[in-house]
Amino acid sequence: MKTRGSRKSRQKTSAGKLRTRCFSRKPHITRRKTEKLQSRTSEQTLVVETVAESIPRIDEWKAFGKKLLLTKSPVNPIVKPRLENFWEAYQTFNPGILLLDGKIHIVYRAIGFDGISRFGYAVSSDGFKVDERLPYPIYQREMSSLSYNPSPSGGGYGGCEDPRIVVMKEDNKVYMTYNAFGPDGLRVGLTSIPMDDFVNRRWNWREEKIISKPNEVHKNFVLFPEKIDGRYAILHSISPRIRICYLDKLEFNDGEYIESHYTPYSNSNGWEERIKSPGAPPIKTDEGWLLFYHGLSKREPWKYKIGVMLLDLDKPEEVLYVSSFPVIEPDQHYEYTGFKPGVTYTCGAAIRDRELLVYYGAADTYVCVARTPLDEFLDALREDREFKERAGLGKLFINGFNGSNGS
């Protein structure tokens, strides 16, 4: 349909709808407001409204995206490299966290002069200002040699990377999964420590268990902070679908590994050009498990951004809904001045006094934190889902994570 004195261009949005842009000297009102354009998909029929009807709804949808964005702390970065400590002189990033005794305990990845990746420790009483930071690492792998090539995940030539830590109250233990890098490649490690030892800084970690298969590249496994149906649950992949391994125990004797598959793909109906990995261990809410994850966006594929999805409490393989927009993305100077500019990467989050706190690495160099009221965040997720359902797009956003784009 053409009108005199105007020019139109049409393009597909990341949500799969057809958006029409008008360029004219005067506002254009279509004669047939009931006329609609339709596009068929394998799932359902999408209805695209006329310009006069669709623009207000697009603006409404964008408003949900703003509500979902977390507010970054003005005191960021809260942990920076220290030249006086050889082991953390270059990079301090990708923190896992625990909320214990009203304090935020931060376990962060550090790389220094020798190129080995270790874990450091800091603690904060308010969640934003670091009260104390230890001058020595609290965990490092025993390695006989280093890799000839740097790690593809943040640099360094060996060690432990990207800690994800949870408290299992039933066991009275702190469990930590991490990426184990060295001459044998990139795999996933697991260790634990009695909760009392952790709180009192007696770093008696259990001997490392490698839980991913040999001769395969795996990383970013996360343990649920409580058992599901009486068993431990380890989420080990979100691409091409949610994959969870259920275990009666976490012993991993010789020859016992988690068989995992990862296939990167683009969520054709979402913001993600490539789905990467789970972020922080899942957080339990009344509405489901909050799972933050990483992705590269379609419009800016060089940036690491953080999205969020909600998983069913009893069957966490089932995705209830996925945010249409990233909730954290690099837009601050400290997120571009570091080892890898344009990266935001989370390994830890917590709910404290009904406030959601997400801790993340910036530019593979700093530790930062972002916040939002939990109830407002869940309301915004719900509104985003309801809007997509009214537009006929709800299942399309979810189906990518439930396996429709892969096997």
Helix (H, G, I), strand (E, B) or coil at 379: helix
Residue 395 makes CB contacts below 8 A (sequence gap 6+) with: 43, 44
Given pLDDT bands bounded at 50, 70 and 90, which one contains residue 17?
very low
List the domain boundaries for the chain: 71-399
pLDDT at 39: 34
Instruction: Output the pLDDT for position 41.
Output: 32
Sorted by sequence, the CB contacts under 8 Å of residue 374 that are 6+ apart come out as 285, 351, 354, 355, 356
Q: What is the mean pLDDT of residues 320-336?
A: 93
On whether the CB atoms of residues 110 and 122 are closer than 8 A, the answer is no
Distance CA 95, CA 164 (A): 8
Cβ proximity of 2 and 22 under 8 Å: no
pLDDT in tens, 108-162: 999 999 999 999 999 999 999 999 999 999 999 988 788 878 888 899 999 999 9
Q: Is the pLDDT of residue 32 over 80?
A: no
Read off the pLDDT of residues 45-62 as tens digits, 9 standing for 90 and up: 333 333 334 444 555 556
Alpha helices in 79-231 (DSSP H): 195-199
Token couple for 289: 């498990």
Question: Kind of pairing, strands 209-210 and 173-182?
Answer: unpaired
What is the rounded average pLDDT for all residues in the chain?
84
In CATH, which superfamily holds the domain spanning 71-399? Answer: Glycosyl hydrolase domain; family 43 (2.115.10.20)
**What residues form DSSP beta bridges with 209?**
190
Strand partners, 278: 293
The DSSP element (H or E) to which 58 belongs, if any, is helix 51-68
**82 vs 84: CA distance, rounded Å:** 5
As given in the structure block, the two tokens for residue 131 are 């009260």
d(C-alpha 159, C-alpha 193), whole Å: 19
Q: Which helix (DSSP H) or strand (DSSP E) does residue 295 occupy?
A: strand 288-297
User: Quick one: tokens of 212?
Assistant: 């991913």
How large is the average pLDDT for residues 187-202? 97
Angle 271-274-279 from CA coordinates, rounded to 5°? 90
Per-residue pLDDT, 396:
60
Confidence of residue 299 (pLDDT cuts 50, 70, 90): confident
Q: For 152-176, what is the mean pLDDT?
A: 95
220: three-class secondary structure by DSSP: coil
